[in-house]
Structure 1
């Protein structure tokens, strides 16, 4: 199985060397951009729109409880520092991934929550995709529902965004396909009976009927990599963070929907 180079920053200068494996995709025109919700059946759209029917709201409620729960040696909760999430977290998820000034590298919302828990609360780390961490991320992201995605315009993130675009267009796996082959070139088609969307991360963390649970954008990208028979990147890796940065830039201005629902 074939995958792009391990280091994202090292990967960027190698773009010309990878031309043979890069899909020549056309970017989606701004006027043609559509949320994944728009490709769903009316019944699924209605389920997402109704908080009493949206199963993702169970994770929002769980996250709300964890927000108030004291943890770690500090004996503090998220509320102790941030207060009511409805005010302090409004718009936060729409601006992630962002630059972590301590490391000089990008960090996503899940990573920031984990970092805050370890450094501020002095509590044991929560595993990525664990129910508690996903619930906290869903709760925080839910506070930005309806707001436009607003990626940080920090030039220090530009190399990562560039690397993310290169990863998005690089062919990989035994099927020799790139993300762009489906989500740019054939977004108005179907694959195995399912709609091919435009890969705009407006609803994450989101509930997938296939999972019977909620999951992160990175979980969805791992699914896609397995689908093309490529070795998935490690959870929280630079590659996934670069892809998240690029995808959020593609979706700039589109409304946050968390928790979204997809098949």
Structure 2
């Protein structure tokens, strides 16, 4: 598995040579890159292992072979045929678990759901993001949210992650803000966390009221962010400062 991490790191470095989006991996220190690349040192791999055990214990393997999960995370958010609305990977796991297994819902930001999502997403590590072409309306909504000035600081996501990406803020490099490593382990959190958690942090950081957990606005934002990061490789579980 450590070899797989090294291969993923090489692919990320190769991608940086050409034009296109740059993963936050490229802005990290060599020490943090080494932590992400080594599966024995990457703390997010503990959650992946927990998710693997849950995937088997909760009967997911009765319908889904682990091998069939390869590439799934690279295609989310996706259009939910039943509702006609976009759904993220965590939402799909919750939907599947509740409808087919008749189990009570897991807290969306709870350890077990994060572990299951990380395990499924990890199966796509090293694969390029492939935005669902059916989510154009959601992407437009997400882009509008990304460019909307918010909060008491009157800032938008785009002002940091487009206009000032690569510069420094409080000693840290401002990344382009791509979603290709989630769920990820952040040293700031000392835990695995979701993209929605990070988005809530950013919204609160500009002194605005975050959307409720699981709100459709977050899925729309993710749909835009995935399109904006098209071609970047899935890194789950990424490590960030």
TM-score, structure 1 as length reference: 0.84
Q: Say which SS state the counterpart of residue 79 (structure 2) adopts.
A: strand
Match of 1:42 in 2: 30
Task: Kindly state the Cα deviation for residue 192 of structure 1 after the two structures are TM-superposed.
Answer: 1.4
Does 2:81 align with 1:81?
Answer: no
- The correspondence of residues 116-195 of structure 1 with structure 2, limited to 5 A, is 116-154=96-134, 157-195=135-173
Match of 1:94 in 2: 74
Task: Kindly state the Cα deviation for residue 127 of structure 1 after the two structures are TM-superposed.
Answer: 0.8
What number of residue pairs does the alignment pair up? Answer: 224
Match of 1:57 in 2: 45
Structure 1: 5+ residue runs without aligned partners?
Answer: 1-29, 71-76
**Alignment partner for residue 248 of structure 1, among 223, 226, 231?**
226
Structure 2: 5+ residue runs without aligned partners?
Answer: 1-17
> What is the rounded CA distance, in whole Å, between the counterparts of 1:82 and 1:33 in structure 2?
32
> What is the rounded CA distance, in whole Å, between the counterparts of 2:151 and 2:89 in structure 1?
28
Q: Say which SS state the counterpart of residue 119 (structure 1) adopts.
A: helix
> What is the rounded CA distance, in whole Å, between the counterparts of 1:65 and 1:188 in structure 2?
39
Task: Kindly state the Cα deviation for residue 168 of structure 1 after the two structures are TM-superposed.
Answer: 0.2
Report Cα offsets for 1:16-74 as digits up to 9, x if no partner: xxxxxxxxxxxxxx81521001111110000000000000000000000000013xxxx
> What is the rounded CA distance, in whole Å, between the counterparts of 1:198 and 1:42 in structure 2?
19
Task: Kindly state the Cα deviation for residue 158 of structure 1 after the two structures are TM-superposed.
Answer: 1.0
Task: Kindly state the Cα deviation for residue 206 of structure 1 after the two structures are TM-superposed.
Answer: 0.2
Does 2:86 align with 1:106?
Answer: yes
Task: Kindly state the Cα deviation for residue 262 of structure 1 after the two structures are TM-superposed.
Answer: 0.3
> What is the rounded CA distance, in whole Å, between the counterparts of 2:219 and 2:212 in structure 1?
11
Report Cα offsets for 1:179-200 as digits up to 9, x if no partner: 0000000001111111100011
Off by >2 Å, runs of 4+ in structure 1: none
> What is the rounded CA distance, in whole Å, between the counterparts of 1:110 and 1:32 in structure 2?
27
TM-score, structure 2 as length reference: 0.91
Task: Kindly state the Cα deviation for residue 234 of structure 1 after the two structures are TM-superposed.
Answer: 1.1
Q: Say which SS state the counterpart of residue 120 (structure 1) adopts.
A: helix
Task: Kindly state the Cα deviation for residue 153 of structure 1 after the two structures are TM-superposed.
Answer: 1.2
> What is the rounded CA distance, in whole Å, between the counterparts of 2:78 and 2:212 in structure 1?
19
